[in-house]
Chain A
Amino acid sequence: MLQKEEALQLNVMNVIKNNRKTTEPKQKKGIAETLFDLFISKRLSMLILALIAAGSILGTIIKQGANESEYLTVYSEATYRIINIFGLDDAYHSLWFKALIVLFAINLTLCTAQGLIRFIKEKRQTDIPEFDRLSKMELNLRVDNERKEKAIGVLKKFYRLIRDENRGLILEKGIPSRLGVFIIHGSIITVLVGSFIGLVFGFKGFLILRVGETKDHVTARGGHQDMITLGFALKCKDFKASYYPEGQPKDYVSTVEVIEGGTIVKEKDIRVNDPLYHKGIRFYQSSYGKKTSFLFHVADEAVALTEQEPFQKKGLALMVVRFAEEIHNLGPGVQIAYLEGDRPQSRWFLLNVEKMKSQVIGGVAVRFDEIREESYTGIEVARDPGVFVVWTGFALMLLGLYVNFFTYYRRVYVVSAADGIIVAGYALKNKEAFKKEFEKLKEDIYGSTP
């Protein structure tokens, strides 16, 4: 028979480790059971982790999101086919990578749940060990009757009393240390849940605003370029880029107004590292530049067109497709494409030639007024309702790591003996530190003399 002391230690240490049931005779297992055993196995979790790492490496070696011709200049036709089949040009969003993450989540959840259940069910050993076991413990100490009271006082100051009976006392410290592992694994699950919430209920988009322009929708990032309506409008009042004397960029600032139902509800300078937050949506300074816009009068209404941006009005659909600074020495001009019925047509407008400045397209008078250089600001837009869950996960992870690695469990017994008491104790991990702690206890009990 195992000594109780050892049994306790083994018990405590094995609660989580022991995943294989040992003795039961081999029975045919059902499929469900076999699958369950597979998904909960620690060998599988190490394999999955290694595969996720390997897949991530592939994604950093192979250029992501390039187009076919770019790949074919680097890889052979056959290699490109493999890249294509396995989605290695967008590895982190490929089916197999997502499958690995899901598998990882299942495995981790099952392992953690199993460990937690065992931890809760585990019977706490609260018997006081036999006399000779105590004296065999790594750390033990005899205290005479004279100092008995003092010793117990010191111990009670350092440890929590969990049992007090005739034969002696049990004290302990650092129970939470055993929760560290659950906190760590729980935190990883929390982060995964948070990012999933973000994926499902959030969006990412971008917004280009010329100075003076107002928009209430943004272009969604990824796949199909849908428009997302914000529910309020954003107006760019000003954009400024400033530089250090040596020429390095110092600051990018977009001054914006949030407009709701015609009234300005907020004004803010958006900077890099200082986003605007409004109604769950964040706006980040991301890029800037200059854009040429072309001022037209379309049927007596002033409009600003930009290259490649379609314009629609009164059954007229047109778009600036080309801009030239100088056309046959006649000055600047733009080429306008439009639909006549269903047929695409195009026509040049020249700013300095009266006849080609005002023209009639599809029965509508169109006049080219001005070319204007305007700065614009590029703003990243994100809504992520899962981000606080992710932050919670992060905080838990750091807490769990601290608890797991820097706190530890130890137990101390106090048993009456013929001429005093025996104080004996052990630690589950970090025995060295416990030894030091025990030395210090000795000092406290006996004073500084050894």
Chain B
Amino acid sequence: MAAHHKILGIVTLLYLLLFFMHTIYFAWRKEKVLSLMRGALYIAFGLHTVGIALRWIESYRLNIGHVPLSNFYESLIFYAWCIIGLLILLRKRLAHTNITFCASLIALLLMGFASISPSVQKNIEPLVPALQSNWLHIHVATCFIAYAALAISFIAGMFYLVGQKRIMPTKETLEEINYKSIIIGFPMLTSGILTGAVWANYAWGSYWSWDPKETWSLITWIIYALFLHARTTRGWKGKATAIISVVGFVSVMVTYFVVNFILSGLHSYAT
């Protein structure tokens, strides 16, 4: 087994460990567990980065060198990496165990799905002609950074809606986290859609062709535009905006998963 597969396997186990550490912390509330958790998160992220880098290097050894952002497996790994990266980058704002718990759970699910699901091709594949473009990197990277920020807004929105008083960050904090993540996520999503359109024009001769993936990304984009307008122009707050951000993330998941498996189009990675 290649080294990057092993390392990413260990990373998955670390995210699982992080999940258990959180549950232990919730039961005991010991300060010590908290600092152990922080350490585990940094180590997991570091190894995660190493795993991706090794995969990148390995692709060059195989003479088909390309950034590991070219198939579904690689996108799942990168998505999990973005979520944890954002968690670390914004650690001051996001230092709430409930949020880190959910974020690392999502990372665990993504990594687990990537390694266990038989429908996910794990090998390094050469780039088919359609993907041989520099736009690939910027397009995929911006999309997944956006998805990561929107996952965090989803977590905040969910907690706002279902949270009990005792263990939550305050509702104001949740609302703030929700809005701030959308401020990162929305421009990134816009960049993802726009770079995708430029690339499509370059590869296929049309910047917009209503392919299901394009269409769902537009739907997602509109939902978050509605979030921003509801907030700024109509003064919606609290529950109403939390609901929009949850719906928005459902739309992200449809764009990412459902479209890949059910609605095929230009974007199925294989063609």
A382 at the interface (CB under 8 A from B): yes
Which one of B1-9, B81-89, B156-164, B216-224 contacts A? B216-224
Q: Check if A272 sits within 8 Å of B210, measured CB to CB.
A: no
Closest-by-CB residue of A relative to B234 is A42
Q: Check if A17 sits within 8 Å of B232, measured CB to CB.
A: yes
Give bound CA distance, A250 to B130, whole Å: 9
B205 at the interface (CB under 8 A from A): yes
Q: Report A253-274 CB contacts with B as 1/0, cut-off 8 Å.
A: 0000000000000000001110
Given contacts A249-B129, A272-B130, A380-B205, contact A401 B190 (CB under 8 A): yes
Q: Report B125-156 CB contacts with A as 1/0, cut-off 8 Å.
A: 11011101100000000000000000000000
A271 contact set on B, CB distance < 8 A: 129
A-B contacts, 28 of them at CB < 8 A, read: A17-B232, A17-B233, A42-B229, A42-B234, A49-B222, A56-B216, A56-B218, A57-B219, A59-B215, A60-B216, A64-B210, A92-B210, A204-B205, A204-B206, A248-B125, A248-B126, A271-B129, A272-B130, A272-B132, A273-B132, A273-B203, A275-B202, A381-B205, A382-B205, A394-B198, A398-B191, A401-B186, A405-B183
Q: Check if B219 sits within 8 Å of A56, measured CB to CB.
A: yes
> Which residues does B use to contact A, with CB under 8 Å?
64, 125-126, 128-130, 132-133, 183, 186-187, 190-191, 194, 197-198, 201-208, 210, 212, 215-216, 218-219, 222-223, 225-226, 229-230, 232-234, 259, 263
A123 at the interface (CB under 8 A from B): no
Give bound CA distance, A272 to B130, whole Å: 6
Given contacts A42-B234, A252-B129, contact A195 B190 (CB under 8 A): no
A60 contact set on B, CB distance < 8 A: 212, 215-216, 259, 263
9 A-B pairs with least C-beta separation: A272-B129, A382-B205, A401-B187, A284-B205, A273-B133, A380-B205, A53-B222, A42-B233, A394-B194
Give bound CA distance, A204 to B206, whole Å: 9
Q: Check if B223 sits within 8 Å of A53, measured CB to CB.
A: yes
Give bound CA distance, A430 to B216, whole Å: 31
Give bound CA distance, A7 to B215, whole Å: 44
B204 contact set on A, CB distance < 8 A: 284, 286, 380
B226 contact set on A, CB distance < 8 A: 46, 49-50
A-B contact count (CB 8 A): 99
A116 at the interface (CB under 8 A from B): no
Residues facing B in A37-81 (CB within 8 A) are: 42-43, 45-46, 49-50, 52-53, 56-57, 59-60, 64
Give bound CA distance, A246 to B126, whole Å: 9
B198 contact set on A, CB distance < 8 A: 391, 394
Contact of A59 among B126, B186, B203, B210 (CB under 8 A): B210
Contact of A387 among B190, B191, B207, B210 (CB under 8 A): B207
Closest-by-CB residue of B relative to A397 is B190
Q: Check if B130 sits within 8 Å of A273, measured CB to CB.
A: yes
Give bound CA distance, A405 to B215, whole Å: 25
Q: Check if B203 sits within 8 Å of A284, measured CB to CB.
A: yes
A387 contact set on B, CB distance < 8 A: 201, 207
Give bound CA distance, A53 to B191, whole Å: 19
Give bound CA distance, A49 to B225, whole Å: 9
B259 contact set on A, CB distance < 8 A: 60
Q: Check if A46 sits within 8 Å of B129, measured CB to CB.
A: no
B219 contact set on A, CB distance < 8 A: 53, 56-57
A204 contact set on B, CB distance < 8 A: 205-206
Residues facing B in A421-450 (CB within 8 A) are: none
Q: Check if A46 sits within 8 Å of B234, measured CB to CB.
A: yes
Give bound CA distance, A42 to B204, whole Å: 37
Question: Binding site of B, secondary structure by majority: helix, strand, loop or mixed?
Answer: helix
Residues facing B in A99-118 (CB within 8 A) are: none
Q: Check if B130 sits within 8 Å of A398, measured CB to CB.
A: no
B205 contact set on A, CB distance < 8 A: 204, 275, 282, 284, 286, 380-382
Given contacts A46-B229, A387-B201, A394-B194, contact A405 B187 (CB under 8 A): yes
Give bound CA distance, A282 to B200, whole Å: 13
Q: What's the least CB distance linking B41 to chain A, in Å? A: 25
A391 contact set on B, CB distance < 8 A: 198
A402 contact set on B, CB distance < 8 A: 187
Closest-by-CB residue of A relative to B125 is A248
Q: What's the least CB distance linking A221 to chain B, in Å? A: 10
B223 contact set on A, CB distance < 8 A: 53
Q: Check if A46 sits within 8 Å of B230, measured CB to CB.
A: yes
Q: Check if A398 sits within 8 Å of B187, measured CB to CB.
A: yes
Q: Check if B206 sits within 8 Å of A382, measured CB to CB.
A: yes
Give bound CA distance, A390 to B206, whole Å: 12
B129 contact set on A, CB distance < 8 A: 249-252, 271-273, 285
Q: Check if A52 sits within 8 Å of B222, measured CB to CB.
A: yes
Closest-by-CB residue of A relative to B221 is A53
Q: What's the least CB distance linking B139 to chain A, in Å? A: 12
Q: Check if B234 sits within 8 Å of A43, measured CB to CB.
A: yes
Q: Report A384-399 CB contacts with B as 1/0, cut-off 8 Å.
A: 0001001100100110
B218 contact set on A, CB distance < 8 A: 53, 56
B233 contact set on A, CB distance < 8 A: 17, 42
Closest-by-CB residue of B relative to A52 is B222
B222 contact set on A, CB distance < 8 A: 49-50, 52-53
A252 contact set on B, CB distance < 8 A: 129
- Other than the given A52-B222, A57-B219, 11 more pairs (CB < 8 A) read A42-B234, A46-B234, A49-B226, A251-B129, A272-B129, A272-B132, A275-B205, A282-B205, A284-B204, A381-B205, A391-B198
B130 contact set on A, CB distance < 8 A: 272-273
B225 contact set on A, CB distance < 8 A: 49
Give bound CA distance, A17 to B231, whole Å: 11
Give bound CA distance, A249 to B125, whole Å: 11
A382 contact set on B, CB distance < 8 A: 205-206
Closest-by-CB residue of B relative to A61 is B263
A53 contact set on B, CB distance < 8 A: 218-219, 222-223
Q: What's the least CB distance linking B185 to chain A, in Å? A: 11
Closest-by-CB residue of A relative to B126 is A244
Q: What's the least CB distance linking B129 to chain A, in Å? A: 4
Give bound CA distance, A242 to B203, whole Å: 18
Closest-by-CB residue of A relative to B225 is A49
A43 contact set on B, CB distance < 8 A: 234
Q: What's the least CB distance linking B65 to chain A, in Å? A: 13
Give bound CA distance, A363 to B145, whole Å: 72
A45 contact set on B, CB distance < 8 A: 229
B216 contact set on A, CB distance < 8 A: 56, 60
Q: What's the least CB distance linking B73 to chain A, in Å? A: 16
Closest-by-CB residue of B relative to A64 is B210
Closest-by-CB residue of B relative to A395 is B194
